[in-house]
């Protein structure tokens, strides 16, 4: 199988890095993911509102793709939108996600959010978010996991952001 190199943003080093696109068959994904995560990430499903482990979660760190571990969202951009799913007003980088038109519900066009490294369906983005970006990334908890920032990492990142 041909390997494809892509560029993504690494929040720990605050640089763009090369990585290999994750390409697997449905059978391979079924072996790696639990049934619900497979249904959501590979079949473009959704979890019921207010049921996800990250809906009301608060912490300092990064949310990453539960399928391939690519960093997607900084916890600093998470907010309580009241929609029933974890909401973020921005992504870590447009290099780590991509969007495409979703017309799967007749008369209700939406914009789907996908992981750039493994093409996992993450959720949808809407133009009703807070003033920082005006966007609300509405993401299924099953599609993401969380990594806490170490205090030292947080201090180093804050220093680099000020420079």
Q: Which two tokens stand for residue 24?
A: 């697997």
- Catalytic residue list contains 138: yes
Among candidate residues 65, 115, 118, 138, the one labeled active-site is: 138
Contact 92, 64 (CB under 8 A): no
Q: What angle do CA 120, 107, 111 make, to 5 degrees?
A: 30
Contact partners, residue 162, CB within 8 Å, separation at least 6: none
DSSP class of 47 = P
Using DSSP's 3-state secondary structure scheme, residue 141 falls into helix
Q: Which two tokens stand for residue 52?
A: 């996800």
Catalytic residue numbers?
138
């Amino acid at each position: 199988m041909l390997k494809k190199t892509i560029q993504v943003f690494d929040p720990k080093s605050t640089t763009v890095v090369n990585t290999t696109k994750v390409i697997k068959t449905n059978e391979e994904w079924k072996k790696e993911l639990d049934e619900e995560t497979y249904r959501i990430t590979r079949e473009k499903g959704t979890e019921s509102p207010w049921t996800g482990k990250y809906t009301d979660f608060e912490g300092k760190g990064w949310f990453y793709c539960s399928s391939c571990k690519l960093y997607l969202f900084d916890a600093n951009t998470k907010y309580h939108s009241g929609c029933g799913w974890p909401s973020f007003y921005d992504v870590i980088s447009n290099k780590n996600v991509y969007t495409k038109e979703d017309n799967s519900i007749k008369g209700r066009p939406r914009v789907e959010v996908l992981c750039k490294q493994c093409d996992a369906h993450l959720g949808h983005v809407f133009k009703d978010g807070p003033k920082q970006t005006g966007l609300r990334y509405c993401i299924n908890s099953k599609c993401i996991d969380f990594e806490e920032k170490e205090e030292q990492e947080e201090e180093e990142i804050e220093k680099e952001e000020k420079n």
